[in-house]
Amino acid sequence: MKRSLYFLFFLILVTSLIVGCSTQKVTSKMYYIEENGKKDYLDEENKDVVELLALIEAYEKVENDYDYRTVDKTARYPYVTERYKNFKETGRWEEDIKCGKICMKWCNFEMNYIKFDESLQEAEADYLTCFTVKECGCLEERGFEDGATYQAPITLQAKKEDGKWKVDDYTFTSKNAKKIKN
């Protein structure tokens, strides 16, 4: 009987520890506000963290998931600031994809960090994006292969525009992409 009571007490203790630990908010060192060199860490449920992660995922799907037969630069417009839209329009993103006959499928991203300014109006995200080249077209000259999966470092600048997070700058260099799977 005494042994059963000890066992029951032990189960209650373990259960309360598990429940207590699982209800704590997770504060990650990946998300923070930096002010005067001091970092104030945010938990993963912070509204701005959640919104910015959703923006990054949506933008990556548009930026790195396309087919040269159907690519449309306007698909990015809901996710970018007016400044960036005008800046990107001077580039050759859509034309390069069509002329180069490139097809890619976006896989995922792996976050390194998101640094917010103290007013939570601007942020910088540093992460790795993953994509599979379906048809490399002209990218073959740069060492890309059909069917291979690559990972590349990205730096993304975001700003709030009309209360919503939008991409204000995006840095991707194909020469920094590393093949991770055939």
CA 128 to each of CA 43, 65, 111: distance values in angstroms, whole numbers, following the listed order: 21, 15, 6
| Residues with Cβ within 8 Å of residue 65, at least 6 apart in sequence | 104, 105, 106, 131
The answer to whether the beta carbons of residues 106 and 60 sit under 8 Å apart is yes
Task: Please indicate whether residue 159 or residue 63 has the higher confidence score (pLDDT).
Answer: 159
Count how many Cα atoms sit within 13 Å of the Cα of residue 90 in the half-sphere of its side chain: 4
Q: How far apart are CA 181 and CA 129, in angstroms?
A: 14
* pLDDT band, residue 12 (cuts 50/70/90): low
138 exposure class (CB count in 10 Å sphere: 0-12, 13-18, 19+): middle
- Supply angle C-alpha 115, 116, 120, rounded to 5: 170
Q: In the predicted model, what is the mean pLDDT of residues 83-105? A: 81
CB within 8 A of 159, min separation 6: which ones?
81, 121, 122, 123, 165, 166, 168
**What size, in residues, is the chain?**
182
Per-residue pLDDT at 57: 97
pLDDT surpasses 50 at 65: yes
Q: What's residue 90's pLDDT? A: 65
pLDDT at 30: 94
Q: Domains for the chain: give ranges and CATH numbers.
A: 29-181 (3.10.450.50)
Burial of 163 (0-12, 13-18, 19+ CB in 10 A): exposed
Q: What is the per-residue pLDDT across 117-162, written as a single tens digit (0 to 9) for each?
A: 999 999 999 999 999 999 988 878 778 899 999 999 999 999 999 9
The CA dihedral of 129, 130, 135, 136, to the nearest 10 degrees, is 60
Q: With H, G, I as helix, E, B as strand and everything else as coil, classify residue 136.
A: coil
